[in-house]
Amino acid sequence: MNPVTIVGAGLAGCEAAYQLAKRNIPVRLYEMRPKKMTPAHKSGYFAELVCSNSLRGDTLMQGVGVLKAEMRLWSSLIIDCAALHRVPAGHALAVDREGFAAEVHRRIREHPLIEIVEDEVKRLPEAPAIIASGPLTSEALLEALRGVIGEETLHFFDAASPVIRADSVDTDVCYWKSRYDKGTADYLNCPMDEVTYKAFYEALSRAPKTPLKDFEYNVFERCMPIEEMARRGEKTLLFGPMKPVGLEQGDGKRPHAVVQLRQDDARSSLFNLVGFQTRLTQAAQKAIVRMIPGLEKAVIVRYGAMHKNTYVNAPMLLDETYAFKTRPDCHIAGQLAGVEGYVESASSGLVAAISLYRSLTGKSQRAFPKETMMGALSDYVATTSKRGFQPMNANFGLLPEPDVKLKKRERKPYLAERALSTMKTFRETVDDRS
């Protein structure tokens, strides 16, 4: 059997390669890093996390938590490696980003059915293939893709938060607490009074930004830089990343604003500033961060940055398995396909891999059920409006409404239980490896 070509060893590409290889389908996996780097990546590791180290919520009361639970039923490589390198983050699944990437890198490289090719792909590969080159797909491959789809790719800008040294934080000023005391106190909170917040807001509003070259500034709402939020009004941050609700201090007093720090590595030596994605200049970042109480001597080890993310007009091009409607043996997976988020990207790689596996072994195609989060997400990508299409995270709003009358508090548990029950049956039906 000819190997399946997979372009890109990010979360989607690695998940797809793993799912195919463990079903005895040979894979040829292309990755241009470290030979050619992107503006956002720092290493040559596969599945490097370039923005946050959080894979977001991990309970069945959250859409992405249901998505993770479904992926565990398929023995997901990405979710398994994340569990091994988990760091405290309350009800969220956050990881030591270097340990996580190194784990995925090792497992993919050691698999005997996965051939690694360290080179840039500049034209569309022969089928069967999965293009999982990510939101930072090289211009050469994008040009080749445009030539096939006959449609300009869309884009938005994404940003990363600064990461600081834990030993540079004044813990006499900050306090440990998770919002509403849910789970363990895994976030270090930097409180601001009203006077401090107003001074911070004014400085942030005036701070210089790094220029964006050659691209239209089209910000994706869920990845908005903090200075863009500030531009929308003084109170915007107080309802966003600096929201103080549920973060009362030991004396029961609620700060006017709060900046939360989350552990970024397994050794607890680094913190990232939650929700502080930015494109401020490095000098401005240093000055702004040091205005935050407790961070007056903060040492920034990785500055926030902004970069172009690219995705295709999926409803026009792709079906419910992320395959081209005109070329069912060629898929697009990951953020390039129009899903947003680490876990969502990995899940699309899994869906594409199962689709190709069935095709290559002579089995009929089966779309993932819409009652599951994986199926609902792939259905959204394939069938939503072609006009104004934007990437989508996993959320309960994607799932079909319950067919029974429920109280509001019963809705999410019902939908989660239905999704997992449906996925168990679906997996047993379609994943026949005999």
Q: What is the pLDDT of residue 214?
A: 47
Specify which residues 116 forms β-bridges with: 29
Last residue of a domain, one of 282, 304, 326: 304
User: pLDDT per residue over 321-374, tens digit each?
Assistant: 999 999 999 999 999 999 989 999 999 999 999 999 999 999 998 999 999 999
Answer yes or no: do 32 and 143 share one domain.
yes
Q: How many domains does the chain have?
A: 2
Length, in residues, of the chain:
434
Compute the Cα dihedral for 358, 359, 365, 370 and give only its sign: positive
Q: Is the pLDDT of residue 305 over 90?
A: no
The pTM (predicted TM-score) of the whole model is: 0.80
- Please state the rounded mean pLDDT for residues 269-277: 92
Cα–Cα distances (Å) from 416 to 23, 80, 254, 345, 413, in that order, read 28, 20, 34, 20, 5
Q: Are residues 8 and 103 in the same domain?
A: yes
- Together in a domain, 18 and 117: yes
Locate 15 and state its tokens: 């998940």
Q: Pick the last residue of a domain from 304, 334, 363.
A: 304
Stretch among 44-58, 156-170, 252-266 having the lowest mean pLDDT: 156-170
CATH number at residue 273: 2.40.30
Q: Domain with 346 in it: what CATH number? A: 3.50.50.60
Average pLDDT, integer, range 42-48? 94
pLDDT tens, 204-252?
999 999 876 544 455 555 668 999 999 999 999 999 999 999 999 988 8
Do 128 and 226 fall into the same domain?
A: no
Side chain identity, residue 303:
Y
Question: Are 256 and 342 contained in the same domain?
Answer: no
Residue 399 confidence (pLDDT) = 92
Regarding whether 367 and 259 lie in a shared domain, the answer is no
Same domain (yes/no): 117, 255? no
Rounded to the nearest angstrom, the gap between the alpha carbon of residue 363 and the centroid of all alpha carbons in its chain is: 31
Q: In terms of C-beta density within 10 A (0-12 exposed, 13-18 middle, 19 or more buried), how is residue 39 classed?
A: exposed
Q: 122 and 244: one domain?
A: no
- Choosing from 304, 338, 358, the residue where a domain stops is 304
Residues 69 and 109 in one domain: yes
pLDDT at 215: 45
Domain that holds residue 40: 4-156+309-430
State residue 388's pLDDT score: 64
